[in-house]
C-alpha cells in the first residue's frame, strides 16, 4: 500500500475508535434493553488498527 492510503486508513480508524470510545463511555440504560453493540471491543480493535497502520507508515518512510 502507498503512504497516502495507509495514512487515510489510520485516520479513519482513529476517528472510528474515538467515536466508539465516546459511545462506550455512556452509561447503559437501567430499565431498558442491554447494549447490543460492544463499543469497547470495537474501540480496541480500531486503536489496534491505528497502531498497525503507524508501524506500516514508519516502515514505508524508513525502510531498513
Q: What is the pLDDT of residue 24?
A: 93
pLDDT at 64 over 80: no
pLDDT 10s digits, 2-60: 999 999 999 999 999 999 999 999 988 888 888 889 999 999 999 999 999 999 999 99
Q: What is the pLDDT of residue 34?
A: 80
| Residue 40 contacts residue 20 (beta carbons within 8 Å) | yes
Give the burial string for 8-41 (b: 16+ CB within 10 Å, else e). Answer: ebbeebbebbeebbeebeeeeeeeeeeeeeebee
Q: What is the pLDDT of residue 27?
A: 86
Q: What is the pLDDT of residue 29?
A: 82
Amino acid at each position: 500500500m502507498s503512504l497516502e492510503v495507509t495514512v487515510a486508513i489510520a485516520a479513519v480508524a482513529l476517528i472510528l475508535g474515538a467515536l466508539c470510545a465516546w459511545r462506550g463511555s455512556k452509561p447503559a440504560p437501567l430499565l431498558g434493553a442491554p447494549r447490543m453493540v460492544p463499543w469497547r471491543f470495537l474501540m480496541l480493535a480500531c486503536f489496534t488498527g491505528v497502531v498497525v497502520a503507524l508501524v506500516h507508515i514508519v516502515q514505508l518512510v524508513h525502510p531498513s
